[in-house]
Chain A
């Protein structure tokens, strides 16, 4: 289950869909916020336009003489003719104010004749004939009858009585209208933004899926080719190693034995023995070096029971380089061939690094099993690895753990193993591998 989840999480299509979903959410929320702003602005603008239209076209022509002075008959006639015309749509309340703050008309008749001080903005509208809008402050006494109506937007503009007195015409709109307009704007924009993005995701997902499949297929083909190349290379190395082992190595071994026999022969004089002895030693060293090379080219037996011998051959050149090498392999008989092969390759790389670069005097290779894990430790007491990019003694630049080991990391990770390289300048290097046995 965890593997399926991990595979799904690393799938490019799943990642694309997840990213698309996040973008979709961001766009949706952004659209909502922007549409709210736009709708609020739109609603206020609409309310102002409606109010100005009502003021010019309905209220102003219907104003009667006497209304401004509170004449009851004028109020009655205005009320009877205007009430149904004004309380339309989302208009919740109408008030007509005198400049001194007296309400000369309202559909809430209890307000008629009351007096409340006008605010600065209302007075400005009254004097300059513009219009303004604001959210109603329902805590004010003149708005006490609107408290049960929820949020209200009040818009006011100026009208003139037949006597020429400026009056403030005030209309209260329900905030439900603003919410509806907000929803209208969002509904208008969301198909373009959210829907467009959704359509893009829907269109591109199959394309991405097809592309991913092609890339996967190409990757598998490349892997197959690499494996075929590796097999071919291994076959070739095996052939070369076998030819060298059966030919040159056998010949050199025979020559070495013959020379050793000649040295032991009493008939061989001292002067001849003195000349032959270094030649024999040199021949033995060359033979050892050749056997190590053969092991490197193609390990003779990479099964668990042959690992100790192969590692022994691997470190054979150490003696010639003045490095005291030891190999210890404990209870790895039941380990799989893949694990043993991986241990061999890491050991090969680590030993090669030590012999070539470490200037070490000691090299220890230890393979053991702990539970279901196969462990490899390769330790030396050499100069250690320099941090990548730093200057090493002799002017050589440091290269970190080495290209060979770094290139093995992917292989180790795929096998479910871990590789740890601990090193410090002049304090040696330790390579530790753990892999499933």
Chain B
């Protein structure tokens, strides 16, 4: 079951980036809910959602000196969970890895920069719980 949402506000940066964001939250294993995307800061686009029951995810993408800074976060409220995460840029794997939720919040966060290519960039943050197989995924088009 998929659900998409639009950003709550449009960025107004100097480069006048036309920003459109589509967030897709996928909850594998049944329970699924989505939260409206939020934007914070000048040109940053932030989207949040829930997946796998009480797990929250966040994807923030913002311009950074000709590049895009991507920040993905999973907050499951359980310490010690192992997650396999991946950042896709225009459908191609830009970065990937494994992370473990840490105290006190039971969350982890990854940050990477991707190149701001010509035209619209589609950035997806995807994380899968290594044990339960629950999948959380969000996409921003910027």
Contacts and interface: CB of A to CB of B under 8 A. Distances in A.
A77 B94 contact: yes
A17 interface: no
Nearest to B93: A73
A72 B92 CA distance: 6
B112 interface: yes
Nearest to B122: A72
Dominant secondary structure of chain A at its interface with chain B: helix
A112 interface: yes
Interface in A79-123: 79-80, 108-110, 112-114
A76 B93 CA distance: 9
Given A66-B92, A109-B66, A76 B118 contact: no
Given A77-B95, A109-B67, A110-B66, A72 B114 contact: yes
B54 interface: no
Interface string A219-249: 0000000000000000000000000000000
Nearest to A80: B113
Categorize the interface residue count of chain A: 10 to 19
B87 to A, nearest CB: 8
B105 interface: no
Contacts of A109: 66-67, 115-117
A46 interface: no
Contact of B94 (A72, A108, A110, A112): A72
B115 A72 contact: yes
Contacts of B48: none
Contact of B89 (A76, A112, A113, A114): A76
Interface string B71-100: 000000000000000001111111100000
Interface in A53-85: 66, 71-77, 79-80
Contacts of A113: 117-118
> Which interface residue of A72, A77, A112, A113 has the most chain B CB atoms within 10 A?
A72
A75 to B, nearest CB: 5
A269 B113 CA distance: 154
A113 B93 CA distance: 19
Nearest to B66: A109
A74 B117 contact: no
Contacts of A66: 92
A74 B88 CA distance: 11
Given A72-B90, A73-B89, A79 B117 contact: no
Contacts of B109: none
Contact of A74 (B91, B92, B113): B92
A65 B121 CA distance: 20
Given A109-B116, A109-B117, A112-B117, A76 B95 contact: yes
A74 B112 CA distance: 14
> Which interface residue of A77, A113, A114 has the most chain B CB atoms within 10 A?
A77
A72 B122 CA distance: 10
A112 B92 contact: no
A105 to B, nearest CB: 8
Contacts of A75: 115, 117
B116 A76 contact: no
Contacts of B93: 73
Given A109-B115, A109-B117, A112-B118, A76 B94 contact: yes
A80 B113 CA distance: 7
Contact of B117 (A72, A77, A80, A108): A72
A77 B115 CA distance: 9
Contacts of B66: 108-110
Contacts of A74: 92
Given A80-B112, A108-B66, A110-B66, A73 B118 contact: no
Contacts of B116: 109
A20 to B, nearest CB: 57
Contacts of A77: 94-95
A79 B67 contact: yes
A71 B113 contact: no
A72 B121 CA distance: 9
Nearest to B90: A72
17 contacts: A72-B90, A72-B115, A72-B117, A73-B88, A73-B90, A73-B94, A76-B89, A76-B114, A77-B95, A79-B114, A80-B112, A80-B113, A109-B66, A109-B116, A112-B115, A112-B117, A114-B118
Interface of A: 66, 71-77, 79-80, 108-110, 112-114
Interface of B: 66-67, 88-95, 112-118, 121
Given A109-B116, A114-B118, 16 more contacts: A66-B92, A72-B117, A72-B121, A73-B90, A73-B92, A75-B117, A76-B89, A76-B112, A76-B113, A77-B95, A79-B113, A79-B114, A80-B95, A109-B117, A112-B118, A113-B117
